[in-house]
Amino acid sequence: MPVRQRRAYYENNLPQVMEILKTGCEKAEKKAGQTLEKVRKAMKINYFDDNSLL
C-alpha cells in the first residue's frame, strides 16, 4: 500500500494509532528495564539494595 494511502488510513483510525503507540511504549519500557538490570549486575551496583552505595 502506498505511503499516502497508509497515512490516510491511520489519520482516520486514531484510536488504533494510540493503541499501537501505547503497546510500543510498554514494550520499550520493559526492555529498557531489563537492559538496565543487566547493566547494574555487570557493574555490580544496585542503589536500591546496597545501602553502602548511597
Residue-by-residue pLDDT tens, the chain, 54 positions: 899 999 999 999 999 999 999 999 999 999 999 999 899 889 888 777 777 766
pTM > 0.85: yes or no: no
Asked if residues 40 and 46 have their Cβ atoms less than 8 Å apart, the reply is yes
pLDDT of residue 29: 98
pLDDT of residue 49: 74
pLDDT of residue 48: 74
Q: 47: how many CB neighbours lie within 10 A of its CB?
A: 9
pLDDT of residue 53: 65
The three cell numbers locating residue 33: 528495564
